[in-house]
């Protein structure tokens, strides 16, 4: 830690001119306003709280607010005024956590009613790292119940709604984070990803995200699903903020409670992903375009995605990159899904999570106990999955066959990179625009390839569907940029170059509203709308 070079400006701090605009704020713009005395940390935090309190009913994205936020803001302001602040990368940056991240200050529920009073006694290591770097946790975002699907409906939080189209889901499972960040309820947010969950909400909300290489960030203290497939990472409105957040989250480094962190190579540990973002170039880069990850049948749901991908491909060409079509029949997301490990790993992972000594409050001791409670939403298309997980383990004979299939897939992917001399592989996150509320599943997503091979992906906005009566600005479309393991720095440079093509992102129409900053004595409470769950998803049913 070094002393901030901006402390000479502290004479101004504390005399707020209250000009802070939370809409589309970045880490850099927030720091600019704080360190030039345009806003206090309290102004920053209360401006976001005021937005959440006033506007959360549009999307139902936020599940809980953290009562510590205002005190932390005041503490920061006092230190700055006393010329006693230390330089940390996320000083006074308000963030939101997906509610499967352990927090000692408020319960960690996974959106599940039976975990509504489950109270970790320690923060997840990634949360501790964010706090140590100065971030202020505003609260928790809704998710698809226990992160098991992509519709973002939960028994505790209700249905989260897409901020661009109130008839559509926000993707998922980190859909509360996606909807909240798109609506400028915080500077950035966090998610987890077992198959699609950091990428589908980025795609459906015109945001950037990074699904890191498995092992880069400790998963300890995150409500688990799969040892093989789970990772965690940031979702933000700019590449720069994703890079800074990733750097902080990865600063946990080796963690004995997640042995996958042993995989991080020496040259990668301690990387600052925000440094050198602009140093890359698209000239001469080679991208593989996975033909099998498209649905070429023209329709209102698929054509906008195909057009957005054609647009970005043309832009990459114009910037001097080469896009090579990859037609290998191996790249079929539906076929690859048969290698999914969740059914085998879920019960063991959850039991271990629920039985940790550090987990207090009231909670079931096992996954089977949780589902016996009847206090949950499982959507009908997932009954088979959950019922199988409840009687399966990594001891099942077929688990080894699945792991061998993953080995094969990983080798084939490496071979594709080498055979075509690729820097990255690109494809739409979802073959169709994000599905309507009430759908059977979040169909058409392509996240399984990175999930099984443990490779990194940066997701970028690439377009919008045409405007319609329910979507005045269109519905966002996102692209995945998949790299070889540990190439996050390269992928973020590529994403940064794509960001320079011109902003694709648009703020949702209703979220343009300027909300008056309220004065709070305490953090306001928030009540999620549990009553808005579609009748297609009955509570407590696992038939």
Ligand X SMILES: *[C@@H]1O[C@H](CO)[C@@H](O)[C@H](O)[C@H]1NC(C)=O
Catalytically annotated residues = 98, 173, 197
Residue 272 sits at the vertex; the CA angle it makes with 82 and 187, to the nearest 5 degrees, is: 60
Site for ligand X, rule CB under 6 A:
57-58, 82, 84, 227, 259, 295, 297, 299-302, 304, 307-308, 311, 329, 332, 334-335, 343-344, 388, 391-392, 396, 398, 401, 404-405, 408, 432, 444, 463-464, 466, 468
Least Å distance, CB 300 to ligand X, is: 4
What is the spatial distance between Cα 161 and Cα 163, in angstroms, rounded to a whole number?
6
> Which CB, 105 or 388, lies closer to ligand X?
388
Closest by CA to 516, choosing from 148, 55, 38, 76, is: 55
Q: Which residue is nearest to ligand X (CB)?
A: 463
List of E strands, 220-285: 231-236
> Which CB, 87 or 270, lies closer to ligand X?
87
Least Å distance, CB 490 to ligand X, is: 25
Least Å distance, CB 308 to ligand X, is: 4
Longest dimension (CA), the chain: 68
> Which CB, 362 or 509, lies closer to ligand X?
509
If DSSP codes are grouped into helix, strand and coil, which group holds residue 479?
A: strand
Closest by CA to 366, choosing from 348, 379, 378, is: 348
Mind giving me the DSSP string for 337-381? GGG--HHHHHHHHHHHHHT-TTEEES--SSHHHHHHT---B--GG
Contact indicator for 220, 257 with CB cutoff of 8 Å: yes
Q: What are phi and psi of 289, to 5 degrees?
A: -105, 115
What is the spatial distance between Cα 422 and Cα 189, in angstroms, rounded to a whole number?
31
> Which CB, 334 or 541, lies closer to ligand X?
334
Least Å distance, CB 12 to ligand X, is: 18
> Which CB, 270 or 466, lies closer to ligand X?
466
Least Å distance, CB 464 to ligand X, is: 5
Least Å distance, CB 408 to ligand X, is: 4
> Which CB, 431 or 490, lies closer to ligand X?
431
What is the spatial distance between Cα 279 and Cα 315, in angstroms, rounded to a whole number?
19
């Amino acid at each position: 830690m070094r002393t901030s070079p901006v402390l000479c400006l502290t004479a101004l701090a504390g005399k707020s001119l209250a000009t802070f605009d939370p809409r589309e704020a970045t880490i850099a713009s927030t720091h600019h306003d704080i360190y030039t005395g345009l806003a206090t940390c309290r102004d920053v935090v209360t401006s976001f709280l005021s937005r959440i309190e006033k506007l959360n009913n549009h999307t139902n994205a936020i599940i809980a607010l953290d009562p510590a936020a205002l005190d932390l803001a005041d503490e920061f302001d006092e230190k700055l005024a006393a010329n006693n602040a230390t330089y940390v990368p996320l000083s006074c940056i308000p963030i939101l956590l997906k509610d499967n991240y352990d927090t000692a200050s408020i319960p960690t529920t996974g959106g599940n009613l039976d975990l509504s009073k489950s109270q970790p006694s320690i923060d997840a290591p990634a949360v501790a790292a964010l706090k140590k770097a100065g971030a202020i946790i505003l609260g928790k975002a809704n998710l698809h119940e226990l992160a098991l699907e992509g519709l973002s409906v939960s028994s505790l939080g209700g249905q989260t709604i897409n901020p661009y189209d109130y008839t559509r889901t926000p993707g998922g499972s980190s859909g509360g984070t996606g909807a909240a960040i798109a609506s400028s309820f915080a500077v950035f947010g966090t998610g987890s990803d077992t198959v699609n969950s950091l990428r589908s909400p980025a795609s459906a909300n015109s945001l950037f995200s990074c699904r890191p290489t498995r092992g880069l960030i400790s998963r300890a203290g995150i409500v688990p699903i799969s040892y093989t497939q789970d990772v965690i990472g940031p979702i933000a409105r700019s590449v720069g903020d994703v890079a800074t957040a990733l750097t902080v989250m990865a600063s946990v480094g080796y963690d004995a409670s997640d042995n996958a962190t042993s995989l991080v190579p020496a040259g990668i540990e301690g990387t600052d992903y925000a440094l050198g973002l602009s140093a890359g170039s698209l000239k001469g880069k080679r991208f593989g375009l996975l033909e099998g990850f498209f649905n070429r049948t023209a329709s209102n749901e698929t054509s906008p995605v195909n057009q957005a991908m054609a647009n970005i491909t043309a832009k990459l060409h114009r910037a001097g990159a080469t896009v090579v079509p990859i037609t290998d029949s191996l790249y079929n997301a539906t076929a690859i899904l048969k290698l999914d490990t969740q059914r085998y790993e879920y019960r063991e992972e959850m039991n271990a999570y629920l039985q940790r000594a550090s987990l207090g409050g009231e909670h079931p001791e096992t996954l089977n106990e949780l589902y016996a409670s009847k206090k949950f939403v499982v959507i009908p298309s997932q009954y088979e999955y959950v019922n199988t997980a409840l009687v399966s383990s990594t001891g099942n004979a077929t688990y080894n066959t699945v792991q061998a299939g993953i080995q094969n897939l990983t080798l084939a992917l490496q071979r594709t990179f080498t055979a075509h001399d690729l820097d990255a592989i690109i494809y739409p996150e979802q073959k169709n625009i994000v599905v309507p509320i009430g759908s059977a599943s979040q169909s058409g997503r392509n996240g399984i390839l990175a999930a099984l091979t443990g490779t990194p992906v940066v997701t970028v906005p690439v377009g919008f569907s045409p405007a319609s009566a329910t979507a005045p600005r269109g519905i966002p479309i996102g692209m995945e940029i998949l790299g070889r393991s540990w190439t996050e720095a390269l992928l973020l440079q590529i994403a940064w170059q794509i960001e320079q093509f011109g902003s694709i992102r648009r703020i949702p129409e209703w979220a343009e509203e300027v909300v008056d900053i309220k004065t709070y004595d305490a953090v306001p409470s928030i009540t999620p709308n549990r009553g808005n769950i579609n009748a297609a998803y009955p509570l407590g049913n696992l038939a």
